[in-house]
Amino acid sequence: MKNFCYLVFTSWILGACATEKSPLSVEELSISEIHQAFLTKKYTAEELVEAYILRIEESDSLLNAISVINPAAIIRARQLDQEFVKTGKLRPLHGIPVLVKDNINTLGLPTTAGALALADFIPKTDSFIIKELEEAGAIVLAKTNMAEWAFSPMHSESSTQGTTRNPYNLDHVPAGSSGGTGAGIAANFGTIGLGTDTGNSIRGPSSHNALVGFRTTLGLISREGIVPLYLRNDVVGPMTRTVEDAVRMLDVIAGYDEKDPITANSNGKIPASYQTFLDENGLKGARIGVFRTLSENDPHPEISNLFNQALEDLGKLGAEILDSVEVENFAELRQNQWCGTFKQDLEDFLQTYVKRDSMSRLEDVIRVGTRSEFAKSRLQQFSSNQRQEQEDPCGDAFTDPRRIAFRQAIEKTMDSLNLDALVYPSWNHPAAKIDRFQQEYRGDNSQIIAPHTGQPAFTVPMGFVSGNLPAGLQFLGRMFDEGTLIRLTYSYEQGTNHRRSPK
């Protein structure tokens, strides 16, 4: 093979002498690995984006994880390459391709929430979180499929794209509602991903796809420009293959946004960098409480075995394990925490961002219709107000007496035992089969605490059960104590290395 030397007359230089390169593998690439490759001129951001797009085009027909590939992604990558040649500096997420859940406003791309009512809605501005990511150098590579209107924690089926499959076993669900991001990041269709979580929707798909999923403290990250489910519970956050990559994202997206007033609660509570908590020895001396109230609620035997092995591993890595921790009045406090604000929250979004007289109310959404029977039943439920109204108003995690009492009971237990975190399986059962998702939906522990108390809860890979199905271990922490959870989850991840790619 001959070498061809040439001059490049653009504002960026790939090299004075180039040889034919072998295909770029994007398997399990991390942010730090990509940045090292940029620095050593192993490949460019443009070549990286092209490699991811090729992988999507070759493999997504199996998964149906991607809603749309960003046609401007390669142009954006080229601009970042030019910037790097000119400055010699990399931004925090320079050239990093991100998969974005299809309920997050992204300039120039459809934001459909999986619904026919928004099938042609293209936002005129980016959401706050997309602006932050792009300012840090990230590239929006594609939007991802989701459970329509984020209704389902069980599966990810939309009217716009259909059903997403689990890359580890195509007969099974990736969970919902951020199933497209979960399946896409697991299958290496992008480097990092964004999901939203009302009750389960970051942590559920992360645990079902051998990923790291951060549901951060309610109020740490802005939800501006995101189609809501129940805004009082909604968070947005990282879905990644490693704790470090999730932390690098968190450094960029955490902080106050005047358009999301609840983020004022984060002022003064965000460290200069969360990366300082990435400590391989972070479990040494930690006190971990085992919350068997959840873990022993009819668990699948293989999940139970993985969880008990995880407890052993935590101990071997230096943690002190306090078994069978109980929260006083837990069974009572967890009741009546849900408050269905979908109609009001959705109509606020439609009137603020969509701005069409013909699409401003829930009735307009129902008139357009849906291809999903599951979504249809939920829309009918909200329309007919079948849900019993709460006697007290629905409040946020900082003002609602029910939510505060629930959180205080958990914090009291943690404080009395000097615990760094509580742990339990993210799911007590493996991923359900797609054709039986309603019958096999069991063991979703993510819905029960953090969405109501506002506390941070992170899931990390815990291993695999029969059928090559992943399981996740969940760490629950105190409000705005993400640093402690990062230290614990990173140490566990580095000490066990459960993550592996689907084949």
- Name the token pair of 297: 């609620």
* Predicted confidence (pLDDT) per residue in 85-112, tens digit: 999 999 999 999 999 999 999 999 999 9
> Is 324 designated active site?
no
**Is the model's pLDDT at 18 over the cut of 60?**
no
Q: Which residues pair with 194 in a beta bridge?
A: 100, 238
- CA distance linking residue 368 with residue 33, whole number of Å: 46
Q: Which of 127, 156, 159, 177 is catalytic?
A: 177
Return the pLDDT at 23: 79
Mean local confidence (pLDDT), 258-262: 98
**Is the model's pLDDT at 196 over the cut of 60?**
yes
Q: What is the mean pLDDT of the chain?
A: 94
Return the pLDDT at 14: 39
Strand 157-158 vs strand 162-163: parallel, antiparallel, or unpaired?
Answer: antiparallel
* Predicted confidence (pLDDT) per residue in 317-337, tens digit: 999 999 999 999 999 999 999
Element of type H or E holding 416: helix 401-416
Q: Which CATH superfamily is domain 4-339+403-496 in?
A: Amidase signature (AS) domain (3.90.1300.10)
Give the burial string for 246-282 (b: 16+ CB within 10 Å, else e). bbbbbbbbbebbeebebbebbeeebeeebeebbeeeb
pTM: 0.94
- CA distance linking residue 455 with residue 147, whole number of Å: 24
* Predicted confidence (pLDDT) per residue in 236-252, tens digit: 999 999 999 999 999 99
Q: Which residues pair with 457 in a beta bridge?
A: 215, 476
CB-count burial class (<10 Å; 0-12, 13-18, 19+) for 331: exposed
**Is the model's pLDDT at 259 over the cut of 80?**
yes
* Predicted confidence (pLDDT) per residue in 421-438, tens digit: 999 999 999 999 999 999
Return the pLDDT at 76: 98
* Predicted confidence (pLDDT) per residue in 293-307, tens digit: 999 999 999 999 999
**Is the model's pLDDT at 8 over the cut of 60?**
no
Return the pLDDT at 21: 63
pLDDT band at 20 (very low <50, low <70, confident <90, very high): low
**Is the model's pLDDT at 214 over the cut of 50?**
yes
Mean local confidence (pLDDT), 439-461: 97
**For 363-366, which contacts have Cβ atoms below 8 Å and span 24 or more sequence positions?**
364/117, 365/115, 365/117
**Is the model's pLDDT at 184 over the cut of 90?**
yes
- CA distance linking residue 96 with residue 92, whole number of Å: 9
Of 216, 235, 226, 225, which Cα lies nearest the Cα of 149?
226
> Is 101 designated active site?
yes
- Name the token pair of 315: 């101990």
Element of type H or E holding 35: helix 31-39
Parse the chain into domains and list their residue ranges.
4-339+403-496
Of 72, 23, 11, 17, which Cα lies nearest the Cα of 47?
23
Task: State the first-to-last Cα distance of the chain, in angstroms, to the nearest integer.
Answer: 33
Q: Which of 67, 152, 201, 222 is catalytic?
A: 201
- For 159, residues 6+ apart whose C-beta sits below 8 A from its C-beta are 114, 115, 116, 119, 148, 370, 371, 372, 375
Residues in the chain: 503
- Helical H runs in 350-396? 362-368, 373-384
Mean local confidence (pLDDT), 187-215: 98
Q: Is there a contact between 99 and 193 (Cβ–Cβ < 8 Å)? A: yes
Strand 320-322 vs strand 287-290: parallel, antiparallel, or unpaired?
Answer: parallel
Q: Which of 101, 127, 143, 446 is catalytic?
A: 101
Mean local confidence (pLDDT), 257-279: 98
